[in-house]
Each structure stands twice: as C-alpha cells, then as structure tokens.
Amino acid sequence: MAASGYTDLREKLKSMTPHRDNYRNKVSEHSNGSGNKRKYHDSEDDLSDYEEQRESEARKVKSGITQVSIFTPEECARIEEKIDEVVARGDKGLYREHTVDRAPLRNKYFFGEGYTYGSQLEKRGPGQERLYSKGEVDEIPDWVHELVIDRLVSRGVIPEGFVNSAVINDYQPGGCIVSHVDPIHIFERPIVSVSFFSDSALCFGCKFQFKPIRVSEPVLYLPVRRGSVTVLNGYAADDITHCIRPQDIKERRAVIILRKTRPDAPRLDTSSLNISLSERRRPLKAKRSHRKADPDAAHRPRILEMDKEQHRRSVLLSSRQSRHGNDPSENSWRREEDSTGRYHTHHTHSHTPARRVKMRRH
C-alpha cells in the first residue's frame, strides 16, 4: 500500500470513485438551495427549517383573515329557508341560463354577476376567467340584501354599496371545491363569505390529486362555524390558494359569497359562446345530480373516490371466494379464470350442458 502512495485503503477507494463525491456535493447543494424540490432531509435542522417556513406562511395567512359571529341560530334558520327556496326555483328551471351551475355534490347559484371558470374556459389557467355579459344571470334577491348584506354593513364588515355579486354554494356531504384564488382581475378585495346549515372548514395551501381523490396537508386549517362571517384580504386572498376538502363537509353546508367586481374586469363576448339566440333564451331545464351522498364519505374520501378498476377486481375476487363451493341449486353460477385471463361462466344445472361464455373485461 505504501509503495503505491496510499497509507489508507479508504483513500485509494476514494481516488478510484471520485464521481461519488461530486454527486454527493451536487445533491447537497441542490437540497440546501431554494428548497422547492427537496426530497430528503439531511438533518433535523433541515426539517426544522421546513417547519419554520410553514409556520411563517401560516402567520401570513392569518394576518389576512377576519372572522366574526354575527348571525344567531334563529337568523340562520330564516336564511336557510330562503336558500332552500333558491334551490327549489333552480330545480324548476325558473332562473336564467347562467345563474345555475351544477356539479356532483355541489351546486352554484350566481346572482348580480357570473363568470366562466374551470372547464368552461376556452383557454385554461389563471387570468382567463371572464364575466358574463350583463343580464346573463339573475339579480341579487331582495332577501340577500335585507337579511345578509345590510346586516354586514351595519356591523361595519363591508361598506354600503360594496357588493354587486352574490354566489350561493350548496354542498352535500363529501362535496368539495379545489384549491384556487378568486380571480384577482375580476374581483376586488375583500372576499366575504357567510356559512349556513353546518360547521365546516376552509383550508389554505393544499394540493389536490385525483383518481382516487386525495389532498395534501394544509398550511392553515381554519374552522368555519354556522352563522360566522369570514373575510379574506391581503396574503390570504391573493398569495395562497384556499379550498374546501371532502372530509370537511360532513353535513349539508351552504355558503353565501359576497364580492365586488372590478370596473375594468373583462367580459365574455356573447358571440364567442357559440350559442344561438334561441338557445340562449330557452329557460334552464330542471336537472339535479342523481348521485346520492354517502353519509360516511367525509370520513373516508379515498374510498368514496377509489379507483374503479381496483374496486371491480376486489369485488370480483370476493365474489369468487364466496361462490367457490358448488351450490346444487338451479340458479347457482360459478365464474372461473383460465390461464389466458378470460372469464368463463358455467351453469351447474344437471340437465343443461355447460356453456362457455366469453366475458368482456371493463
């Protein structure tokens, strides 16, 4: 060893594989840089830095949130009756075409001003949202002014004449709304929401994934009580997304969102809708999602939205196991899987010859 110039075997091995040290140095520099794509924490100090950043961001979010309890249970009950009337009118098709927007486990009702978003956009992405032309949605109902807006004005939550857009979101158990920022080019700040029917929560900084649906841990979890008013401003409104997770809607919940549109907010050209005049004047047909809400869905959103293929296979396996024994009854059926992966079904009635049936896999 000494003749070759090395006094320690570790030094020789190190000289033979210099690329390993270079790789480690690059990984270390990458993980200690911006921190955006850090996958592994090299030490407890790195982990504490990450947690400190999360806590710092949570404090920024809190600085832009104001919550007050204004409406009594009796007042909530009266407003909730009015919300039920809105739902009933929507089911009868008594509103204008763009007033009602339906989705599984969540319906939206636009009043005063409505806008395109999500899959309705020709070009996806923030900044592409557009207000509908004037008159495309119904006016804000009188009861919203009298029972909700005037009350907030009298308590100093919003100035008089601020609100020209009111949206009612009606959620069923397990419903949700994905992470988003209310379009800055359309709505002024603050964003004001009032909750009814049940308690829930608003989460900030979550990321959604689908099939099956799952949501990352929020930067801030904000409980929202029935009858409470939540006001978003500053960092909470502009610099971080907010959402409602499926597991936070345990009972039916409705929220009235009150906003003011910007004078220069872009509007949608009616000619770009590619809808004929007769179609635009046609009243909205009454329709409602036939999907029944699962009362336990809020507690197990993964099972609620689990992958269909995986679910089908588990049901099939369970069925095969339960029917493995030969049942002498006339109506018994037994399914087998041969070596080619095709399924064949055999009738066990003694007077009928076995019949091979090719089953299509979904």
* Active-site hit among 95, 109, 115, 132: 115
Nearest 5°: CA angle at 109, between 196 and 212?
Answer: 80
Q: Tell whether the torsion through CA atoms of 173, 223, 184 and 137 is positive or negative.
A: positive
> How far apart are the C-alpha atoms of 241 and 220, rounded to whole Å?
11
The DSSP secondary-structure symbol of 200 reads E
Q: How far does CA 149 lie from the centroid of its chain?
A: 27
Phi/psi region, residue 194 (left: phi>0; alpha: psi -120 to 50; beta: rest), is beta
Spatial contact of 158 and 192, defined as CB atoms under 8 Å apart? yes
Q: How far does CA 25 lie from the centroid of its chain?
A: 40
CB hemisphere CA count around 230 (13 angstroms): 24
SS3 of residue 345 by DSSP: strand
* Pure H helices in 221-293: 234-238, 277-281
What are 286's two structure tokens?
Answer: 């009454």
Spatial contact of 125 and 117, defined as CB atoms under 8 Å apart? no
For helices 9-16 and 18-31, angle between their N-to-C axes, nearest 10 degrees: 80
Nearest 5°: CA angle at 246, between 204 and 198?
Answer: 90
Is 343 known to be catalytic? no
Phi/psi region, residue 125 (left: phi>0; alpha: psi -120 to 50; beta: rest), is left
**Catalytically annotated residues:** 115
